[in-house]
Structure 1
Amino acid sequence: MGRGNKRTEATSPAPAPTASPKKPKRSTPDVTDLGFLSAPVPSNQAKSRWPHRYQTKQTKATVTVTLSDGSTEEKELFQAKSHYTRAAVDGVEFELFDDAYIQSSEGEPDFIAKIVEMFQTTSGEMYICTQWFYRAKDTVIKDQDYLIDARRVFYSDIKDDNLLSCITRKAKINQLAPDMAADAREKSMASCDLYVDTMYTFPHAFSSLRKDINNLSLTDEVVETKTPDVKKPLEDSQRSEVTLLDLYCGCGAMSTGLGIGVSLLGEKIVTKWAVDFNSYACESIKYNHPNTEVRNEDAENFFILLKEWESLCKKFNVVGSKDIELEPQSSDSDESEVDDGVVVPSEGEYEVQKLLAICYGDPNQKKKTGLYFKVRWKGYGRADDTWEPIEGLSNCEERLQEFVLRGYRAKVLPLPGDVDFICGGPPCQGISGFNRFRDALAPLKDKKNHQLVVYMNIVEFLKPRYVLMENVTDILKFAKAQLTSYAVGRLVSMNYQARLGIMAAGAYGVPQCRMRFFLWGAGPTEILPQFPLPTHEALKKGVVVNEYKELIIGHGDEHGQLHKSALLGDAISDMPAVTNDTEEDEMPYDKAPSTEYQKLIRLSRKDIFGCSDAKRKDSHKSILYDHRPHKLNQDDYERVCQVPKFKGANFRNLPGVLVGPDRVVKLDETVERARCTSGKPLVPDYALSFEEGKSCKPFGRLGMDDIVATVVTRPEPHNQVLLHPNQDRVLSVRENARLQGFPDCYKLFGPVRERYMQIGNAVSFSVSMPLGYCLAKALQGAQYTTPLSLPFKFPDCLGELKSLRQEPEELIS
């Protein structure tokens, strides 16, 4: 549009931490065809509505504002002589609460804002206050904005004062309600230049607009609604169940902790499905969650299987079917070796008796990927079951239909709409600092990061109500956080609300620092869950890019009621002494718990999970599982035996090592180099050169008053501090599990190294349980604008759970 008047440029909206628009210059405007049209708002009304503008007769005043990190600062505000409701710019009339484009720096697209004030300053200048809309690229989505419709903008709570002359033209922005029908949504989108359906607030939250923003005024605020804690009896069968799919489930710590957390408020999560490529992890979660459909398969194959399953359900028209008769299941189980009373057919004669399972992949390992069914052959037993491709079952339509109908009714696989909640931590090995070949320019093209795409594809297909994704904080550091931007962009593009946060396990009651990144997602009509505030003092180890410091939950806040940090001794000092050679998977406790942590972590399965399965013989027993360490080789064992038993001792305390004033280590050349029985050096060369000789980690010994940096997946003492305080071994599997908040009754499977990996990859119970509590609050209708305080601390909540699970005395066997 042609404009004869010279314009001044607007003050850029306070940028998101990911955007830095250039600060425009100001100039004196040409007031031709520019001015207020209405009579001034009556003085008493203006002062009531905008009191901050009438604090003094000076040109400017100051006001205290709260920043996104929780701190405050003094901000200058123009003082007003009078307010108005209408103005003209270039002959175009603008009214209060109109949307407009605001001039930006040369060569940059104009800003977009809502006009929330029109006023004349005490010095006579004509000003507006603008509340900004953000484009996707100006949010945490950054350069992944291609995922978002270019016409979609996000409203913010950031306001700035700008000269009236900064307005360039009107903007036609339609607000879309979160519950708007698809056809109405499309119609509204087609009749506007831009549309808005989401608020973007700091630190990095996208939430659905639940208020008509066209009627917002400066004094309007989002009201924080809360509901009191409601503790329903856990036996209440009337409550609705939240069905959960745990992707990349590992041994199930994340979904288990979430379930415990929601149950503290009387809600219920049922982990209906779990998927992981690691067979040992699947064995662990299946044991601890016997009613969960656990699938040991690649997530990408699982995604394809979901689509194939939907096609089969449509093909056989089974959705909602109740009138199709099924033959009763034969009394013999899938475990039987041969069907009783059936004559084994002669060689070459095969007839399908029934289909037992379905998968997508290459179960026969013949490099032929496709859709397969597990077949029980008539006259044969379990040992003769085979995986057959669907193409080979073309003459078995009746058996296929029967299998699909049974599977549909039992929900062996979820269809879109069946899953309420998806959680999981897609592995992104491509961001690891140990990966020398990682692609910093295009991380999404790296196959090692492809699982993030698969995770979001499954979310898009199943359309759950809630999503929770976990990852290492490196996702915020590597490649300018492109993977984080992609994850958020995908969720927002699917019309999910989103909220980002970083939680340190130690801040919630376990003796380790361990920081992890979390991303909440919620459907447009759901309440977006918050994060929980810390309950404990915690060491803040771990590096987070300054741009994302504010994502650390509790960052910058002062908490006067925080509990003291949990220490290593609080968690493990009651454990039986074991040796480097211990191989027992089960053993009794040999002493009573000496701390509240130990007492509660030792609760039975029945207390924590409500297990009443008579087949589980250990439900009520006090058995210690997995208290066995990784067995060190003979050389390493001899080295460990010579490391003194005090906190902080390490390889530097071994014979023949000198430490210089610069703390760099070297060998004492005046003495003969000490050697192991094998003849290898007692102090290995790699320890001397690690971190340029400045490290104290190799063969480092912990103290009972220590806080562990993080529980690792590989129990090697070569570059980690993980020796037991007073025993010559590394921390055992169970000791690591306690540092992660696993209850002792949570049993693990697989070789010892695999169990360490399951524990090291898990989300700490001290974190997943509070997250579950926050979800329960959202389920109960509580909406919080800031992280919420927890009414419990870990592991006291396990004791609370025990009291909620108490059954009437006559029902206790």
Structure 2
Amino acid sequence: MSTGLCLGAKASCNDLVAVFHPVTVDSDRSPCESLKLNHPETHVRNEAADDFLQLLKEWEKLCKQYRVKNLERTYPSRSRISETVWKNASSAKDSDTPDEHEVSSLVDICYGDPCDTGNRGLKFKVCWKGYSASDDTWEPIEGLRNCQECIQEFVTNGFRSKILPLRGDVDVICGGPPCQGISGYNRHRNVDSPLDDEKNRQIVVFVDIVEYLKPKFVLMENVVDIMRLVKASLGRYALSRLVLMKYQARLGIVAAGCYGLPQFRLRVFLFGAHSREKLPQFPLPTHDVIIRYGYPAEFERNTVAYDEGQPRQLEDALVLRDSYSDLPPVANNEAREKMTYEKPPETDFQRYIRSSEYKMTGSELNGAKRIMNLLYDHRPSPLSEDDYIRVCLIPKRKGANFRDLPGVIVGTDNVAWRGRTQEQQFLPSGKPLVPDYVFTLKQGKSKRPFARLWWDETMPAVLTAPFCHSQAILHPEQDWLLTVREWARLQGFPDYYRFRGTIKERYCQIGNAVAVPVGRALGYTMGMAFQKGSGNEPLMILPPKFSLSTNIQLAKSLSQNTDRLN
């Protein structure tokens, strides 16, 4: 969502840093590392959102406490802390005699229990004089009573540099509370009382953060099941909390494919705006889309779409060939982190997605003006030896799947079963070539196990892991799963965007993300509302060729249109 909103805000002629307070919170480490790599201006915090909220409250207290003090007040030359505090967090030094270690500075702050000591609370990260950064330790504020000078220096500098937002500082809060307790893929979700499920508590925390910071704008994303589960109780909860806070609110159901992607991917977005601001509009589709599953019927009016009979000019729906047919073949056990493209882009989407960061954003960022000619993250999740043998036997044609393996019979009722008249084939491992589980999925009627995608098809939605046992996920013409980069292209990530973590973690980050073209369109409408340049209708028509034009191309196009009008 951050990447898309960045691009969209800049397309509306807004400077991202002026519109968004650059703080991002995520409890998983690898997404934080990816975000920091691609958004170096962002202060990324790897912590739980409820701990972050408590930290905000403690930070406000510290700022009030230390800002009223005379900044010229003198303290002892350097604060000291006893060995007992050092020992609480580190075993780097062991001594039975009470020694003292000199605090050089405080370098970070958090709320929680980063060292798993069982003691939760406000903590400072201490840099010790005479020790390296690897010896920095988290210490409770109670143990730093003799370090007032260091605390004052940290709080004063942190207040000036805005390392944490205070109430009234924030323009936008955006986020996607985890959907695991909501999604229909979770067969054990609490359908009777969803707010009692710990997995769904983050929706409450998200709105609590909004209530505490009172930003100008709010954008929340979640799966469509938030409007299905228990009569949409969770969606109604978030909406009602905003209304109770005197926010304007608008809810829309958006299909990612409508903004130039070969996947359908329905998601719910909730816009909120302070009473003094203009409520952002939802962007009308730019592309036709191949519908893969249904909308919640009772919330059909919330679907972001053109009305029947309304004039429209839509680009053709994108298919898989549009997305990644230009990418080179790789091996099942591909280990290269970067490689060359080998051939030029073949479609408008590929030309757009391969644009440099300079062209994409329309601004020069840390040397991004250089044309990016290397391909990153083009690696698949390696198949096991058994699965690789199976995949190599799947024909390279549309509709091919496990039913094409030797010994599988499909009856007139579309049920697949193991032929009894043929001798069963086994793999070198001793396991059957056709595993038993393919016959139990949907009572033998599923065509998804070991299924190939095909060039003229689309995806229902990119998930958090490619799993060939239950998904159609094989490359159309190669014997491997779709790579991390192909996965990322289906979500609209520019090729210059790189990922951190294991291969499994990279897939997960991409599957959890808001599709970048959707975020970009929403960022554009939010930027227009920020400038009071949008209308009062709930829906907005985006500029021509918006989805497949870089910000530089958009700026030139809008400038030419303005010149013609003048």
> Of residues 443, 449, 458 in structure 2, which corresponds to 1:698?
449
Query: Does residue 570 of the first structure (1) align with residue 322 of the second (2)?
Result: yes
State the partner residue of 2:343.
Answer: 591
Q: Percent identity?
A: 50
State the partner residue of 2:63.
Answer: 313
State the partner residue of 1:287.
Answer: 37
Where in structure 2 are the equivalents of 1:356-395 lying within 5 Å?
Answer: 356-395=107-146
Where in structure 2 are the equivalents of 1:67-78 lying within 5 Å?
Answer: none
SS at match of 2:550: helix
Distance 2:134 2:239 in 1: 47
Which amino acid in the other structure matches residue 33 of structure 2?
E
Query: Does residue 637 of the first structure (1) align with residue 388 of the second (2)?
Result: yes
Are the counterparts in 2 of residues 736 and 759 from structure 1 also a CA contact under 8 Å? yes
> Of residues 242, 245, 259 in structure 1, which corresponds to 2:6?
259
State the partner residue of 2:49.
Answer: 299
RMSD between superposed Cα atoms in Å: 2.2
TM (norm. structure 1) is: 0.63
Distance 1:537 1:422 in 2: 30
> Of residues 413, 429, 442 in structure 1, which corresponds to 2:193?
442
> Of residues 130, 153, 156 in structure 2, which corresponds to 1:402?
153
Distance 2:312 2:425 in 1: 52
SS at match of 1:469: strand
Distance 2:215 2:10 in 1: 20
- Higher relative contact order (Cα pairs below 8 Å, separated by 6+ residues): 2
Shift of 1:611: 4.4
> Of residues 355, 370, 375 in structure 2, which corresponds to 1:624?
375
Distance 1:706 1:437 in 2: 32
Shift in alpha-carbon separation, 1:488–1:612, aligned structure 2, 3 A: closer
Query: Does residue 486 of the first structure (1) align with residue 233 of the second (2)?
Result: no
SS at match of 2:231: helix
Which amino acid in the other structure matches residue 444 of structure 2?
G
SS at match of 2:44: strand
Distance 1:673 1:398 in 2: 77
SS at match of 1:652: helix
Distance 1:677 1:804 in 2: 61
Distance 1:350 1:801 in 2: 58
Distance 2:544 2:250 in 1: 23
Shift of 1:377: 1.3
Which amino acid in the other structure matches residue 332 of structure 2?
N
> Of residues 491, 501, 504 in structure 1, which corresponds to 2:252?
501
SS at match of 2:280: coil
Distance 2:150 2:524 in 1: 44
Shift in alpha-carbon separation, 1:689–1:794, aligned structure 2, 3 A: farther
SS at match of 2:388: helix
SS at match of 1:430: coil
Distance 2:207 2:553 in 1: 33
Shift in alpha-carbon separation, 1:799–1:566, aligned structure 2, 3 A: farther
Shift of 1:259: 1.6
Distance 1:546 1:673 in 2: 47
Are the counterparts in 1 of residues 394 and 402 from structure 2 also a CA contact under 8 Å? yes
State the partner residue of 1:72.
Answer: none
State the partner residue of 1:274.
Answer: 24
Distance 1:322 1:753 in 2: 52
> Of residues 309, 313, 324 in structure 2, which corresponds to 1:561?
313
Shift of 1:763: 0.7
Shift in alpha-carbon separation, 1:428–1:712, aligned structure 2, 3 A: closer
Query: Does residue 759 of the first structure (1) align with residue 513 of the second (2)?
Result: no
Are the counterparts in 1 of residues 546 and 554 from structure 2 also a CA contact under 8 Å? no
> Of residues 190, 198, 217 in structure 2, which corresponds to 1:466?
217
State the partner residue of 1:419.
Answer: 170
Are the counterparts in 2 of residues 601 and 798 from structure 1 also a CA contact under 8 Å? no
Query: Does residue 748 of the first structure (1) align with residue 503 of the second (2)?
Result: no
Distance 1:735 1:745 in 2: 13
State the partner residue of 1:606.
Answer: 358
Structure having the larger proportion of residues in strand: 1
Where in structure 2 are the equivalents of 1:125-144 lying within 5 Å?
Answer: none
State the partner residue of 1:579.
Answer: 331
Shift of 1:757: 0.3
SS at match of 1:570: helix
SS at match of 1:280: helix
Larger Rg: 1
* Number of equivalenced pairs: 532
Which amino acid in the other structure matches residue 121 of structure 2?
G
Shift of 1:645: 0.3
Distance 1:512 1:690 in 2: 23
> Of residues 472, 477, 492 in structure 2, which corresponds to 1:726?
477
Are the counterparts in 2 of residues 600 and 795 from structure 1 also a CA contact under 8 Å? no
Which amino acid in the other structure matches residue 310 of structure 1?
E
Shift of 1:603: 1.0
Answer with 707-716 or 556-565: which moved more: 556-565
Distance 2:498 2:175 in 1: 20
Distance 1:383 1:763 in 2: 35
- Where structure 1 has 5 or more consecutive residues not aligned to the other structure, the ranges are 1-253, 328-345, 806-813
Shift of 1:647: 1.5
Shift of 1:599: 1.2
- Where structure 2 has 5 or more consecutive residues not aligned to the other structure, the ranges are 76-96, 558-566
Shift of 1:739: 0.8
Which amino acid in the other structure matches residue 357 of structure 2?
R
TM (norm. structure 2) is: 0.90
Are the counterparts in 2 of residues 607 and 802 from structure 1 also a CA contact under 8 Å? no
State the partner residue of 1:531.
Answer: 282
Are the counterparts in 2 of residues 509 and 794 from structure 1 also a CA contact under 8 Å? no
Answer with 263-272 or 405-414: which moved more: 263-272
> Of residues 440, 450, 455 in structure 1, which corresponds to 2:206?
455
Shift of 1:548: 0.9
Are the counterparts in 2 of residues 567 and 705 from structure 1 also a CA contact under 8 Å? yes
Are the counterparts in 1 of residues 170 and 214 from structure 2 also a CA contact under 8 Å? yes
Distance 1:652 1:670 in 2: 16
- Once the two structures are superposed, residues 150-200 of structure 1 have per-residue CA deviations (whole angstroms, 9 ceiling, x without a partner) of xxxxxxxxxxxxxxxxxxxxxxxxxxxxxxxxxxxxxxxxxxxxxxxxxxx
- Once the two structures are superposed, residues 63-115 of structure 1 have per-residue CA deviations (whole angstroms, 9 ceiling, x without a partner) of xxxxxxxxxxxxxxxxxxxxxxxxxxxxxxxxxxxxxxxxxxxxxxxxxxxxx
* Displacement over 3 Å in runs of 4+: 321-327, 434-437, 555-560, 609-612, 618-621, 792-795, 799-805
Distance 1:611 1:745 in 2: 14
State the partner residue of 1:234.
Answer: none
State the partner residue of 1:100.
Answer: none
Where in structure 2 are the equivalents of 1:7-26 lying within 5 Å?
Answer: none
Which amino acid in the other structure matches residue 383 of structure 1?
S
State the partner residue of 2:180.
Answer: 429
Answer with 546-555 or 384-393: which moved more: 546-555
Shift in alpha-carbon separation, 1:427–1:612, aligned structure 2, 3 A: closer
> Of residues 537, 548, 551 in structure 2, which corresponds to 1:785?
537
Shift in alpha-carbon separation, 1:574–1:655, aligned structure 2, 3 A: same
Which amino acid in the other structure matches residue 601 of structure 1?
I
Are the counterparts in 2 of residues 424 and 468 from structure 1 also a CA contact under 8 Å? yes
